[in-house]
Amino acid sequence: MNYRYEGRNAMTQDELMQVLQAGESSMVEFKRCSELPHTDTFETVCSFANRSGGSIYLGVDDDGQVLGVDSKRVSEIERNVVNVVSNRKMFEPAPMVETEHIEYDERIIVRIWVAPSSSVVRFKGAVFDRIADVDTHIESDIQISQMYIRKQNYYSERRIFRYVTPFDLRPELIARMRQLAVAQRAGHPWGTMSDEELFRSAKLYDRDYTTGEEGFNLAAVLLLGKDEVISSVCPAYITDAVVRRDNIDRYDDRLMVRTNLFDSYEQLREFTERNLPDRFVLKGDKRVSPRTMIARELVANSLMHREYSSPVVARVTIDNESIRTVNASRSFFEGRMKLGEFTPMPKNPIIANVFVQTGIAEQLGSGLRNLIRASRQYTEREPEFRDGDIFEATIPIVPALKTVDGSGFASVRSVVEKDAEEGARLIGGERVDGKKADATASGEIDSRAAMLSAMNRRLTEVDYVTVPELAKITELDNRTVRKFLNGLVAQGKLIAEGNTRVGVIGRDSGRDISMQWDSLKGYGKYDS
């Protein structure tokens, strides 16, 4: 299948400059392109797919000089790439690719990213492999056989279970897979395929070319299998998700997941979102939640790129500092991963493709970029990724707060304007010291009522509110809003902690708390 970048995760000019300076390699190829890509471009696509994946840069000379492509034909070039790799007369099976165009020195470069394939890919019936920085035509039966063995050994998701039958799969999951694919893309071919055609199209029913066996593979069982079948063929498969904020020796909340990957994704995503503080940021004129992106991408990444043959238990851990995922991996790379210094490689291309087709994940290779961007929006701090036998992803989070009475409610913070006004003078017609205010307090009574109503209403939708947001909802100025919050501090309903943050109680052990503000005692913290 083939996908196209829509500019959200595009390579930066700095990243491109580093690539141009480094030159061609086993995973980088430069190609001239005056009109449409030449045949040798698709030979490189084939060789990358058969080896470790890589990127082809159209509009670049062999020595790294940027020539550019015809700016009027960029869309035509990208469309041609997609059409050629999708054509069964040209490629079998179709490699997974993505395209994007990049402006550099007032010229345009088209980048083709090729994912490593779990099968041996042929271009016009020929097999190409990437040796160093050269595309090599492989003709020897022995060499081709070794290529099949190499891929089969590496991608454990392709292991055939000859005695697994359609009766060992859940029909409702097959239907869900279809529905999600059609919802993601109208007219998706999976929508009209028979079950057998769907299994073969998604590579869930496969052939082992080293043994000649045909049947459902591990990917099929993990995605669509009944729980007892999954436990039988993959006994070590489990995801252990825990929250450790107050009880660091054990846990505050826990979820053990052993079911199919569709349900696993939903359960783990919901668990993660429920236990992470939320905040919203503006993207243009649209409000977006970094928490949602973090939960989605972390869970999807853990499930897509896990080495399922390993007995290592996959874990998701949330504490006061971060959310961290740990899972077994079989990587081409070992050590800390930095943006621009690694090439994304799906550890389970079959599972990854199903996730992309059904909308669970975005374009292949975009997950880590999304996590980096969401982390910066969430805490203005960088995430950390380490790969090797074990893959670890660590995302800093906003620390959870505690109530005045130490009851341990899970609360959240939101960044607000600095330099809040010092103390509240009038709150609801009463002074901080409890004495009655003068007659001018009547207007502030109305303001207080509006504020309480706005906060109560917003907290049924999200776990936090900000000063600018409350000001907009109530049509009050920021100063009045801050006075109100500081008054609650003075009344002992909020704890002053610094100068930039506000927090309110959102949940008690995962349950919604009724926001009866007048009756709450010590419901959160406000940094004044």
pLDDT of res. 338: 67
Q: Are the beta carbons of 141 and 149 closer than 8 angstroms?
A: no
Q: Are the beta carbons of 145 and 207 closer than 8 angstroms?
A: no
pLDDT of res. 456: 56
User: Which residues have C-beta within 8 Å of that of residue 393, sequence separation ≥ 6?
Assistant: 298, 301, 302, 324, 325, 371, 383, 384, 385
pLDDT of res. 455: 60
pLDDT of res. 249: 79
**Quick one: the chain helix, strand, coil %, rounded to 5?**
35, 25, 40
Q: What is the pTM of this model?
A: 0.55
pLDDT of res. 6: 37
Q: Are the beta carbons of 256 and 264 closer than 8 angstroms?
A: no
3-state secondary structure of 314: strand
Full pLDDT tens readout for the chain, 528 residues: 333 333 334 677 888 888 898 899 888 999 999 889 999 999 999 999 998 889 999 999 999 999 999 989 999 999 999 999 989 899 999 898 989 999 888 899 999 999 888 789 999 999 999 887 889 999 888 778 777 766 766 688 999 999 999 999 999 999 999 999 999 989 999 999 999 999 999 999 998 877 888 999 999 999 999 999 999 999 889 999 999 987 777 888 999 999 999 999 999 999 999 998 877 666 666 777 788 889 999 999 999 989 898 888 999 999 988 999 999 887 656 677 766 555 566 788 899 999 999 999 886 666 777 888 888 888 888 889 888 778 899 999 876 443 333 333 233 223 222 222 333 333 333 333 344 444 344 445 455 656 666 665 555 555 455 666 667 777 777 777 777 766 665 655 544 333 333 444 333 333 332 232 332 333 333 332
Q: Are the beta carbons of 377 and 281 closer than 8 angstroms?
A: yes
- 451 vs 342: CA distance, rounded Å: 49
- 460 vs 446: CA distance, rounded Å: 22
Distances (CA, A) of 125 to 51, 188, 209, 471: 17, 27, 17, 66
**Among 189, 34, 60, residue whose Cα is nearest residue 112:** 60
pLDDT of res. 174: 97
DSSP labels, 341-396: S-----SSHHHHHHHHHTTSS-STT-HHHHHHHHHHHHHS---EEEESSEEEEEEE
Torsion of CA 112, 290, 276, 264, to 10 degrees: -40
Domain annotation for the chain: domains and CATH numbers: 1-140 (3.30.950.30), 155-235 (no CATH), 239-396 (3.30.565.60), 410-526 (no CATH)
pLDDT of res. 518: 30
pLDDT of res. 358: 95
Burial class (CB in 10 A: 0-12, 13-18, 19+), 439: exposed
pLDDT of res. 302: 92
pLDDT of res. 502: 40
pLDDT of res. 285: 67
What does the DSSP 8-state code read for residue 418? Answer: S
How many Cβ atoms from other residues are within 10 Å of residue 12's Cβ? 11
| Tokens, residue 476 | 């009050």
Q: Are the beta carbons of 397 and 318 closer than 8 angstroms?
A: yes
